[in-house]
Structures are given as structure tokens and as C-alpha cells.
Structure 1
Amino acid sequence: MNLDDWRSRINDLDNQILRLLNQRAEAVLHVGDLKRRQGAPIYAPEREAEIFRRLTTTNSGPLTAEAIGAIWREVLSASRALESPMTIAYFGPQATFTHQ
């Protein structure tokens, strides 16, 4: 395969990864809804630790465990953001430059 072929292959893989990430995000939205209805906390560090353990154990490379951890920290962070809207606090009334 030449460079263009490899780039095309990478583009196809990127599209598959994006599709799967969005499917995961849909599942996360359902989980977040269940957590809210059950009064469960959004952040579950034991669940995230289990995910990291499972992925690093099943990883056959060439990505390192550290790389897998870095990638999944971002995925899980984005997932938590979907489960719960961000709350921003500020000092003072709006429009007084304290809310920026």
C-alpha cells in the first residue's frame, strides 16, 4: 500500500471510531438518566478504574497502557459531561464582569 492508501485506511478507521464513540455517548446519556432517577452520583471512580483495568489488560498493542489511559481519560471526561450539565459559579450579579 502507498501513502494515500494508508491515509484512506486511517480515515475509514477514524470514521468507525467516531461512529462508535457516538454510540457510546448515546448509551452514556441513558446511564446518566438512570443515575439521576435513582439519585446515584454521576462520577463513579470505581467504575472508571474498572474500565481502565479491563482495557489495559485486554490491550494487545501497539498502544501502551499509558496511551490507552490518556485516551480513555478524555472519553470518560466527555462522558461525564454528557451525563450532567456543567454548573458554573461566579461572584456578584450578572453583567458586572464577575460572571465572565
Structure 2
Amino acid sequence: MPGLLNPDAFDSRVWADSAYRSKANEATIAAAGRRSTVHFRKPKGRPMPEPHQRANRARSAVCSAVEHVFADQKARMGLFIRIIGLGRARVKIGIANLA
């Protein structure tokens, strides 16, 4: 997790799904001066507490909005850009963004 935290990032929040929630990761996020918005995990054998459900629901709404943009880009261009040259790839991405 420390290698993923960008010190120059504009937003101070760290977004991730519940697979990244651990005491070590939460401590790393706090030490970097960031705010954790990592989803809460459901306790084994017990129902998820209502405050955690509400927090996860709000976080999922934001994640969904962002992920839909990437899914739209993937649908327009396919998973891979099969172009030789970085300049041509930039043009293809730019044209796909205009569509």
C-alpha cells in the first residue's frame, strides 16, 4: 500500500474495496495524512452494522460513477489499443473521447 499512495495527489481520500481494509493499511493511510474511504468488511457470522452499511453504500455510489466512465472507454476502444506508436495511440484515444 505505501507504494500506491501518491504524495502529490489532489484528493486526500484513499478509495479501495474491502480487500484492502487491514489495520496495517489503515495505519499507513493515516501516517500519510490521508483519509480512508476503504469499504468495511462484514464480520464473520454476524450481520454488518448499519453505520458500516450506510458508509459502504455511499462509497459504492462514488466508485460506481467513476467505474462507469472507464467501462464506457473500454467499450469504445476494446480492452487493448492495437496501434504502433504512442502518438497514434493518443490520437485513437482522443477520437474515442470525442465519440
Q: Does TM-score exceed 0.5, indicating one fold?
A: no
Highest RCO, 1 vs 2 (Cα 8 Å, sep ≥ 6): 1
> Greater share of strand residues, 1 or 2?
2
> Greater share of helix residues, 1 or 2?
1
- TM-score, normalising length: structure 1: 0.27
